[in-house]
Structure formats: structure tokens, C-alpha cells
């Protein structure tokens, strides 16, 4: 499976500028790879991680962001994973949407809003896991702060070989980002794909290059860099089955006990 990670340097709350940036990255990927299966963008792709939910939110059924990415998926014949803010009652949801040439494959609403930054005041928490199948890979969907809650990843790993996390994870906590992506990969024996933005947001927070993929063995994969923002990777999905057979950790999980003590 071939995946491109795009560490987009997002323009703050400027959808038009970010669309242009996305188009440039997709053109670059198409120039270097004709058979990429999936391209992944950071959290709230066209706005950055903003609390101005009322200003940027869109109706799911008429979303300009979803429409734009569907058009790009058709144009480039590739599946795309991206972040978008969608209306939900008086609030909104922070979502990871995956589209293909055929349309929307899945919409995941972030289960754990980042209360430390007040995200829960503006965004309603999701309550449902979402998966997509692309090629031979079943892929679980998560967003940023979700990464600190391992129960989600154990649930996904029952039938997922790849789990995505799209983020706006600031530089000052990047050591946690690296550690948690690796931990989720090792403990669940999956490919963990972490996609983070770069640059500086409208609140002055700095984001540094840190998008990466960790294998089921806990190895950080080496990709092919096309630019500061874009890196291509190739995953051998057989490694998931192989490692789970060699080292069957899941056979020793005590789910009934875990439910009792939690």
C-alpha cells in the first residue's frame, strides 16, 4: 500500500489559500507517483485548529470542503483523508473524512475534544468508531488528542491493519507525539500513521516536521521526501499478520477483567 503524508503549512482560517496549497501537494504527488492509494492531511485541513467553530463550520450535506476533496479525488484518482469542521446542533464536530473517486467513504467525529484548550466548549464529542477499506487495508480513524486514549486503538486493531491520526500537535509536546504513535503501533501490532501540520498557527503556536509512520514492529519507516510538506511511504500489510502470528499478544488480553477494573 502506498501512502502520502502531507504536513501542510496551514494558512490560519483561510480556506481558499489552503485549497491552493492542497492542489499543489496533489500535483507534486501525481508527478512522482501514479499509484498512490491514499493521501493524508492534518486536522482541520483548510482552517487550522481553530475554536471559531461557528465561523468555519459547514453543513455535512453541502460542505465546500468535502466537495473540494471529492473533486480532487476524482481528478487524481486517489483516496484522500482530511479534517473538516461540520455543524452539529448549536455546536460543531471536529471530523476526519475519507473520500475516493466514488465519494465519501467515512466521516469520523473526534471522540476526545481537547478540553485543555477548551475544544469541548465549541465542539461536541463523537461517539462512534469509523473504519474504511482501501485496497487490502482496513483503516481506523482518529484525531489528535484521541492518541492519548489507548482503548480506541485496541478496539480498532481487532480488524484494522492501519490506524490514522491526523493532528495539529504543537512543537512543545512533540516528544509525546512520537512516543504515543510508537506505543499505539507496538501495543496494537498495526501500522500507525501520524500526520501533523508544520508552521505557526493564528495563536502563535509552532508546529514542526513530525509526520511519520511506525510499523507493527515499532520501527519508524523511512519515506521518500518530495518536499518539506510531502513524504511518500510504502507499507507491507503482510507484516501485521506475520507479527501477530509470531508474537500473539492479543491472545493474552483479559477483556472481561479490563471492563471490571475500568
User: Which DSSP string corresponds to 44-104?
Assistant: STTT-S-S-HHHH-B-GGG-HHHHHHHHHHHHHT-EEEEEEEEEETTEEEEEEEEEETTEE
In the chain, which stretches have pLDDT less than 50? none
Contacts with 240 (C-beta within 8 Å, 6 or more apart), sequence order: 161, 189, 190, 191, 216
pTM: 0.97
Give the pLDDT of residue 5. Answer: 98
Q: Is the Cβ–Cβ distance between 154 and 189 less than 8 Å?
A: no
Q: What is the pLDDT of residue 146?
A: 98
pLDDT at 39: 98
Q: Which helix (H) or strand (E) holds 232?
A: strand 230-234
pLDDT digit string (tens) for 216-237? 999 999 999 999 999 999 999 9
Domain ranges across the chain: 2-261
Which residues are known to be catalytic? Answer: 43, 110, 144
What CATH number does domain 2-261 carry, 3.40.47.10, 3.90.180.10, 3.20.20.20, 3.60.110.10? Answer: 3.60.110.10
User: What would the grid cell of residue 234 be?
Assistant: 510504502
pLDDT in tens, 66-115: 999 999 999 999 999 999 999 999 999 999 999 999 999 999 999 999 99
Taken as a whole, the chain contains a residue count of 262
The pLDDT value given to residue 183 = 98
Pairing of strands 103-109, 91-100: antiparallel
Amino acid at each position: 500500500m502506498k501512502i502520502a503524508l502531507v504536513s501542510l503549512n496551514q494558512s490560519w482560517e483561510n480556506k481558499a489559500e489552503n485549497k491552493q496549497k492542497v492542489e499543489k501537494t496533489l500535483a507534486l504527488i501525481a508527478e512522482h507517483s501514479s499509484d498512490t492509494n491514499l493521501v493524508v492531511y492534518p486536522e482541520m485541513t483548510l482552517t487550522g485548529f481553530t475554536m471559531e467553530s461557528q465561523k468555519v463550520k459547514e453543513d455535512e450535506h453541502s460542505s465546500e470542503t468535502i466537495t473540494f476533496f471529492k473533486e480532487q479525488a476524482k481528478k487524481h484518482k486517489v483516496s484522500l483523508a482530511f479534517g473538516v469542521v461540520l455543524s452539529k446542533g448549536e455546536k460543531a464536530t471536529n471530523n476526519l473524512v475519507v473520500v475516493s473517486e466514488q465519494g465519501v467513504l467515512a466521516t469520523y467525529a473526534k471522540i476526545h475534544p481537547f478540553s485543555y484548550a477548551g475544544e469541548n466548549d465549541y465542539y461536541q464529542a463523537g461517539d462512534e468508531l469509523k473504519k474504511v477499506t482501501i485496497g487490502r487495508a482496513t483503516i481506523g480513524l482518529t484525531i489528535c488528542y484521541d492518541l492519548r486514549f489507548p482503548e480506541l486503538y485496541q478496539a480498532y486493531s481487532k480488524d484494522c491493519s492501519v490506524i490514522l491520526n491526523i493532528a495539529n500537535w504543537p512543537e512543545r509536546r512533540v516528544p509525546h507525539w512520537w512516543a504515543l504513535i510508537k506505543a499505539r503501533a507496538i501495543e496494537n501490532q498495526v501500522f500507525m500513521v501520524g500526520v501533523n501540520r508544520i508552521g505557526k498557527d493564528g495563536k502563535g503556536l509552532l508546529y514542526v516536521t513530525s509526520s511519520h509512520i511506525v510499523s507493527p514492529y515499532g520501527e519508524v519507516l523511512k519515506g521518500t521526501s518530495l518536499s518539506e510538506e510531502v513524504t511518500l511511504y510504502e507499507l507491507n500489510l503482510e507484516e501485521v499478520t506475520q507479527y501477530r502470528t509470531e508474537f500473539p499478544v492479543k491472545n493474552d488480553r483479559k477483556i472481561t477483567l479490563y471492563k471490571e477494573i475500568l
